[in-house]
């Protein structure tokens, strides 16, 4: 393979699944919900807990989709399950592989909607960037997803289903009886795909609980990072009910600029957001908060901004992730120069904070941060519309 390997794109022509009328999908149910569902099917209360344990393990530890393979259940019970339930995950429509190995999947969910999922391989690990909504109700002016009009919340099954689909594609389900392989291709999850996860709280929580469950996918809470634009009332709840790491799309150091970049700031401003963040590590007993900061030329990238940022976050255990702006067709901003980004990073670093500059991954396939937008959604707002709405025009 040459260094400039061609981009590959497979368009899957999967056979359309037969309609599974009346059957309930087990994927995405919490253990309690599965228990209720099994009891409704006729499983005795006494047996239900054990059955949940067995089925759970088949689905989430071994990646089994067919009840017939659940060999520790009786044939009659497997037939009952098959008559009542399905084990279904979103359908992969296409997969693109970037020259840097990043994979971008387009997946189709019920109703014909499509979302994107990105797998980023790294040395000794790999991160899956998961979507929580089709589009996003918020309209951050630098974000491609924010220009997508169509929005619906993903179900818990559609969220955890993205992880299962990626494990299918990576061939990463262990086989029963084989020793556990601790080096994982898919070792980390970031909720940084399409959508605002805290506007779909219950489904995101249930999906992450399933991903963290020790009898299944078994990812530690420290390997899951939820990124929010700043839905303040849900931040404490995230600590309590999910306990994962938190990243915040900060992006500006004055309310005036943040109002334009991240319009949710008009509802919960910088001060309110910082108050909520100060409580977060205490509540979840977790590590530092990641402040995401997109570098936009002439908008938020001055030395003064860097110094203001350091002052604002004083007292919060933090790491500042600088994201060079990823362009998309019609975007109203430019990426700051490398020199500017490094000068900015330097000020933050000297103040005692880690300030990594995120290397854009999968740019050639539009898989980098903020570039996601389903191919089915072709209607795009014009640059003028975006500028007018962001007040920057």
| Complex with ligand SAH: residue 207 or 323, whichever CB lies closer | 323
- 56 with 68: CB under 8 angstroms? no
Work out whether 188 is an interface residue with ligand SAH (CB under 6 A).
Answer: no
Work out whether 142 is an interface residue with ligand SAH (CB under 6 A).
Answer: yes
The half-sphere exposure of 211 on its side-chain side, counting CA atoms within 13 A, is: 36
Query: Given candidates 196, 259, 301, 305, which one binds ligand SAH under the rule CB under 6 A?
Result: 196
Nearest Cα residue to 285 out of 218, 222, 223: 222
Work out whether 344 is an interface residue with ligand SAH (CB under 6 A).
Answer: no
Instruction: From the list ligand SF4, ligand SAH, none, pick the one residue 148 interacts with, judged by a Cβ distance below 5 to 8 Å according to partner type.
Output: none
| Complex with ligand SAH: residue 206 or 292, whichever CB lies closer | 292
**CA pair distance 194, 130, nearest whole angstrom:** 8
- State the catalytic residue, choosing from 114, 116, 158, 363: 116
| Complex with ligand SAH: residue 25 or 290, whichever CB lies closer | 290
> Cα–chain-centroid distance for residue 205?
12
Nearest Cα residue to 273 out of 304, 310, 308, 316: 316
Helix (H) or strand (E) holding 129: strand 125-129
| Complex with ligand SAH: residue 334 or 350, whichever CB lies closer | 334
For residue 125, count other CB atoms closer than 10 A to its CB.
14
Exposure string of 262-283, with b = 16+ CB inside 10 Å and e = fewer, is bbbbeebebeebbebbeebbee
Work out whether 292 is an interface residue with ligand SAH (CB under 6 A).
Answer: yes
Check if 244 is active-site: no
Check if 369 is active-site: yes
* Shortest Å distance, C-beta 69 to ligand SF4: 38
Instruction: From the list ligand SF4, ligand SAH, none, pick the one residue 369 interacts with, judged by a Cβ distance below 5 to 8 Å according to partner type.
Output: ligand SAH
231: its two tokens? 């839905």
Work out the burial of residue 178: count CB atoms within 10 Å of its CB; fewer than 13 is exposed, 13-18 middle, 19 or more buried.
exposed
Residues of the shown chain interacting with ligand SAH in the complex, contacts defined by CB under 6 A:
140, 142-143, 192, 196, 227-229, 249, 292, 294, 323, 325-326, 369-370
Catalytic sites, residue numbers: 116, 369
User: Binding site membership for S-adenosyl-L-methionine: which residues?
Assistant: 195-196, 227, 249-251, 326
User: Binding site membership: which residues?
Assistant: 136, 140, 143, 195-196, 227, 249-251, 326
């Amino acid at each position: 393979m040459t260094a400039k390997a061609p981009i590959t794109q497979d368009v899957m022509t999967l056979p359309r699944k037969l309609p599974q009328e009346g059957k309930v999908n087990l994927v995405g149910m919490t253990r309690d919900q599965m228990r209720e569902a099994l009891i409704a099917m006729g499983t005795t209360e006494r047996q239900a807990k054990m059955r949940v344990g067995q089925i759970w393990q088949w689905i989430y530890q071994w990646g089994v989709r067919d009840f017939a393979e659940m060999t520790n259940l009786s044939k009659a019970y497997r037939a009952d399950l098959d008559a009542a339930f399905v084990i279904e995950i979103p359908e992969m429509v296409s997969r693109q592989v970037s020259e840097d190995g990043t994979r971008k999947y387009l997946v189709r969910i019920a109703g014909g909607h499509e979302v994107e999922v990105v797998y980023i391989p790294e040395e000794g690990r790999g991160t899956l960037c998961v979507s929580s909504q089709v589009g996003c109700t918020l309209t951050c002016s630098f974000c491609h997803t924010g220009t997508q009009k169509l929005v619906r919340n993903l179900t818990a099954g559609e969220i955890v289903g993205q992880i299962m689909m990626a494990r299918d594609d990576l061939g990463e389900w262990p086989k029963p009886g084989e020793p556990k392989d601790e080096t994982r291709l898919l070792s980390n999850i970031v909720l940084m795909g399409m959508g605002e996860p805290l506007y779909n709280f219950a489904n995101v929580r249930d999906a992450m609980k399933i991903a963290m469950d020790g009898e299944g996918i078994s990812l530690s809470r420290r390997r899951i990072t939820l990124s929010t634009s700043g839905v303040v009332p849900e931040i404490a709840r995230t600590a309590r009910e999910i306990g994962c790491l938190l990243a915040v799309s900060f992006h500006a150091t004055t309310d005036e600029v943040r109002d334009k970049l991240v319009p949710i700031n008009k509802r919960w401003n910088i001060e309110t957001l910082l108050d909520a963040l100060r409580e977060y590590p205490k509540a979840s007993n977790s590590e530092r908060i990641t402040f995401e900061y997109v570098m936009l030329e002439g908008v938020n990238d001055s030395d003064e901004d860097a110094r203001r940022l350091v002052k604002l976050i004083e007292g919060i255990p933090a790491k500042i992730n600088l994201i060079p702006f990823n362009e998309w067709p019609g975007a109203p901003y430019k990426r700051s120069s490398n020199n500017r980004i490094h000068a900015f990073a330097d000020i933050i670093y000297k103040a005692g904070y880690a300030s990594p500059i995120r290397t854009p991954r999968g740019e050639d396939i539009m898989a980098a941060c903020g570039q996601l937008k389903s191919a089915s959604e072709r209607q795009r707002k014009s640059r003028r519309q975006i500028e007018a709405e962001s007040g920057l025009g």
